[in-house]
Chains A and B, each alone.
Chain A
Amino acid sequence: MIVPSMCAGHPQPMNQAISNEPTANESPSSEPPSNEPISSESISNEPVVRLEQVRFAYGEREILRGVDFAVHRGQLVAIMGGSGSGKTTLLRLIGGQLHANAGKVTVAGQDLGALSTSALYALRRRMGMLFQFGALFTDMSVFDNVAFPLREHTDLPFELIRDLVLMKLHAVGLRGAAALMPSELSGGMARRVALARAVALDPLLVLYDEPFAGLDPISLGVTGQLIRQLNDALGAASIMVTHDVRVSLELVDYVYFVSDGVIVARGTPEEIRASDDPFVHQFVHAEAHGPVPFHYPAPPLASLLDEVAA
């Protein structure tokens, strides 16, 4: 039986480690939680996620063409790239929703391609995933949404589930919204509830699919801080697919750039900012001209004019 910890193996309770709200033992003027990236010593050598020469195609259309990367415990990694570059496919391969045509995807030392459905489900109990728009269950309250994985996978008594759920909601600043329905939440609040649900079982690996899409600047900043703080509090490995360069470079430990099915650049945020690679430069500085074309392939305008004239 999985019993989620109160503090995910950390010296302080998670609600204190990651809350933005002052607690009973904390004065309102106390220091905010640290946003420093975790030290390299705390990062284990054994990767939680490893991709080796992974290839994937939807039918004839090749999406990934030999991708290698590794994510260690304690790391928050961003995968960036243009639309249709294969980022979300990569996330689905790591979550076991898709299977690689070639190469190997390993999560927590287990080869996903060789797992049975029950073994994959057992592994997924150690994963959390935040979907682009939260994917909250619309027929359940906020409380029931966060309690869902606990009720499904544990035999904990009601009182303990209630305490755990309220603690997770407190961590994302929404303890007071426990009774609300998803339709009563703003986009940013829904994303935070989904985040609380994703970490309900204190996962080893958390996957984020476009966590900042459609958020206002305040919600975006709060969600970004929460992702960083939750990752540090849980000591988990986190992988975030995102387009938001500015916020991501402030939060993450490492960045992979994907283009046309391969990883074209990688590095720490400092290395990325200093990079003179044309692709990275175009992406970080949001330039229209560069290796990533703005226009979808089309015949030249001149040829269309010739056709009209003819």
Chain B
Amino acid sequence: MNALLELLRKIGAMTIDGVWRLGFIARFFCVVLRYSGQSFRRLPLTIREIYFSGVLSLLIILVSGLFVGMVLGLQGYDILQRFGSIDALGIMVALSLLRELGPVVAGLLFASRAGSAVTAEIGLMKTTEQLQAMDMMAVNPIARVVAPRFWGGVISMPLLAALFSAMGILGGWLIGVVAIGVDDGAFWSQMRASVDFRYDVLNGIIKSFVFGMAVSLIAVFEGYDCQPTAEGVSRAITRTVVSSALVILALDFVLTSFMFRGL
């Protein structure tokens, strides 16, 4: 009986803690938005963060996109040939990437590469009192440090997802057309005929934008909120990667259920 009560107490405490934390993140998000003006007035600050979050993530995004596309080419050919539909390989590769794999896998990679780096940087700035020093110099650390990193991530993410999808399509073409011998004209023409810009491409961009907002917010929040110790920063980085992955997958389900209902 006591063990059951203890379990219930722990569940209750975790629930209350979770709700508090959600409320705190929401409040933090509002503060970041409030102080975002400086990110755009002083554009070099945000451009610098786009470089660190976006440009420095290019290698992992492009290489991963290429391999994912190549795997899609192999798997797609294997499945479609059973139904005599290998000409539809281009459609399958393009739609898989534009609707789902592009935004989701790019989001997961972005969280691992750029999100963790942002959390570590802000967390270490907190640990070494740099944020406090900035505050004492009458410079708001949310406006100077957090907001540019947040918007740098938000702007980078859709661009990275688009590049991931483009590289994936290239990978699918290399395997399907160059290596296996699917007809080149059929591959591209079927893709052009079936991929709708608003329904497929735009929805994919919206997804990647939402994932970018979520990952960037989690990354800056975890860095800003971490315990100012080596262990605290390490835990914050882990939480950024794990929370981002879970949030991306959950948001993907919600967005897909609204966007793609076969209408």
Interface set of A (CB-CB < 8 Å, partner B)? 95, 97, 121-122, 124-125, 127, 129, 131-133, 135-138, 148-149, 152-153, 207
Contacts and interface: CB of A to CB of B under 8 A. Distances in A.
A129 B136 contact: yes
Interface of B: 124-125, 128-130, 132-140, 144
29 contacts: A95-B136, A97-B132, A97-B135, A97-B136, A121-B140, A124-B137, A125-B137, A125-B138, A129-B133, A129-B137, A131-B133, A132-B129, A133-B128, A135-B130, A135-B133, A136-B130, A137-B125, A137-B133, A137-B134, A138-B125, A138-B128, A138-B130, A149-B139, A152-B137, A152-B138, A152-B139, A152-B144, A153-B138, A207-B136
A117 to B, nearest CB: 8
Nearest to A121: B138
Contacts of A121: 138, 140
Contacts of A136: 130
A121 B137 CA distance: 8
Nearest to B145: A137
A135 B138 contact: no
Nearest to B133: A135
B137 A135 contact: no
A129 B132 CA distance: 10
A133 B129 contact: yes
A27 B34 CA distance: 56
B129 A135 contact: yes
**Which of B125, B130, B133, B140 gathers most chain A CB within 10 Å?**
B133
B136 A124 contact: yes
A148 B137 contact: yes
A155 B124 CA distance: 30
Contacts of B124: 138
B130 A137 contact: yes
A65 B196 CA distance: 70
Contacts of A131: 129, 132-133
A137 B140 CA distance: 15
Contact of A124 (B125, B130, B138, B144): B138
Q: Which 6 A-B pairs have the closest CB atoms?
A: A135-B133, A135-B129, A124-B138, A121-B138, A129-B136, A125-B138
Contacts of A137: 125, 130, 133-134
Given A133-B128, A137-B130, A152-B139, 11 more contacts: A121-B138, A124-B138, A127-B136, A131-B129, A135-B128, A137-B133, A137-B134, A148-B139, A149-B137, A152-B137, A207-B136
Contacts of B132: 97, 131, 135
A133 B140 CA distance: 21
B30 to A, nearest CB: 15
A132 B128 CA distance: 10
